[in-house]
Chains A and B, each alone.
Chain A
Amino acid sequence: DAKTTQPTSMDCAEGRAANLPCNHSTISGNEYVYWYRQIHSQGPQYIIHGLKNNETNEMASLIITEDRKSSTLILPHATLRDTAVYYCIVAYNQGGKLIFGQGTELSVKP
């Protein structure tokens, strides 16, 4: 079973920041938090991952709470092309399997 809990759906206005929460209260010390997204009828796309520190790349920022029991993915300026299902996944590093939960369906609206 997936070890994360996410809201089923969220809306965001185009150009605004999209903040997607994820709860992973049973995460173990050496498990990472990964975020992927899946645009309709395509394969998932890697976004970002982190262990304990906040991370930022060209796509998004990942904020992990100090106790590591939850995290937030931030898309700083959402566009219509960011409409997708976003999956928060907890997994081990080397060779870790990715177990997908139901994800959050993000709709970016004009």
Chain B
Amino acid sequence: GAVVSQHPSRVICKSGTSVKIECRSLDFQATTMFWYRQFPKQSLMLMATSNEGSKATYEQGVEKDKFLINHASLTLSTLTVTSAHPEDSSFYICSASSPQGQGYNEQFFGPGTRLTVL
């Protein structure tokens, strides 16, 4: 299957700083990328959907000014957590999708980024 990478895999930062997480599709062009957040022992929660070259669509309850998403190319999307606080500590996972020949979208997930805010 297609490969999606995330960088960094783990980051620790001080409260009030901003953190950028990159998501790259390595061997295919991703028309759509998704960002999820997962707290310990909980399921993945979809944060936002981004299409290349357009503004991201955020899920209800997700602050767009706090979680900045940029999808500048068909292989790269970034999530910036601005003014991070300890409650933002979580596992952030991206996925990328591209229409397949059979007409369905299969999402390929990155390995996740563990964010810890002190």
Binding site for B on A (CB under 8 A): 2, 32, 36, 38, 41-46, 49, 87, 93-103
Q: What bracket does the count of chain B residues touching chain A fall in?
A: 20 to 34
Residues in B with CB closer than 8 Å to A95 are 32, 97, 105
Q: Are B46 and A44 in contact (CB under 8 A)?
A: no
Given A46-B107, A87-B43, output 14 extra A-B contacts at Cβ < 8 Å.
A41-B114, A42-B112, A43-B6, A43-B109, A43-B111, A44-B93, A46-B1, A46-B108, A94-B103, A95-B105, A97-B49, A100-B46, A101-B43, A103-B43
Q: Are A97 and B43 in contact (CB under 8 A)?
A: no
Question: Does any Cβ of A come within 8 Å of B78's Cβ?
Answer: no
**Which of these, A44, A94, A101, contacts B104 with CB under 8 Å?**
A94
**Which of these, B32, B44, B105, contacts A44 with CB under 8 Å?**
B44
Q: Are B108 and A97 in contact (CB under 8 A)?
A: no
CB-CB under 8 A for A43 and B46, given A95-B105, A96-B105, A97-B34 = no
Residues in B with CB closer than 8 Å to A99 are 46
Ranked 10 nearest A-B pairs via Cβ: A43-B109, A100-B44, A100-B43, A44-B109, A93-B104, A43-B93, A43-B111, A43-B112, A43-B110, A102-B43
Q: Are B45 and A100 in contact (CB under 8 A)?
A: yes
**Which of these, B45, B95, B105, B109, contacts A93 with CB under 8 Å?**
B105
Alpha-carbon gap, A45 to B45, bound state (A): 16
Alpha-carbon gap, A38 to B38, bound state (A): 12
B62 → chain A closest CB, angstroms: 13
In the complex, 22 of the A-B residue pairs with CB atoms within 8 angstroms, ordered by the A residue number, are A2-B43, A32-B104, A38-B44, A41-B91, A41-B114, A42-B111, A43-B6, A43-B93, A43-B109, A44-B93, A49-B106, A87-B43, A94-B99, A94-B104, A94-B105, A95-B32, A97-B34, A98-B34, A98-B107, A100-B44, A100-B46, A101-B43
Alpha-carbon gap, A2 to B44, bound state (A): 11
CB-CB under 8 A for A97 and B103, given A42-B111, A43-B111 = no
